[in-house]
Amino acid sequence: NALDGATLDRFYVIDVEYDLDLELRLTLQAYSDEGGEDQNKAIQWLTSVRAVRAHAVAQKWQVVISPRASISGAALLAAGESEQDINAGILFKHLNEDQATQAKRVLSGAQA
């Protein structure tokens, strides 16, 4: 549940960025652990996740696209899941229809 303003006023807020090097290492490890052999596929997946994440931040969407998306998506990719299914089940699962359409456009640019 969302916290009300009086409760939020009691906290000191610090923005913490994701550790991109750690995200890369964990993504590659998850891909490898599931038997993935072409790490370029994992890196392309990570690039796609980061592109959608950057777009979501720029658009001020109230969604979380965390390193968990990179890591679990890479594992699923190595296990043989289609990128389309992974996108739907991980990247787009909390997006509304308009956001998903925008994310798909971002992905088509990231893969070009």
Write the pLDDT tens digit of every residue in 52-86: 999 999 999 999 999 999 999 999 999 999 999 99
**pLDDT above 90 for 1:** no
pTM of the model: 0.86
Q: What is the DSSP string of 9-23?
A: TTS--------HHHH
Determine the Cα–Cα distance for residues 45 and 91; give it in Å rounded to an integer: 11
Among all chains, which residue has been given the structure tokens 């997006």? 95
What mean pLDDT value characterizes the chain?
94
Length, in residues, of the chain: 112
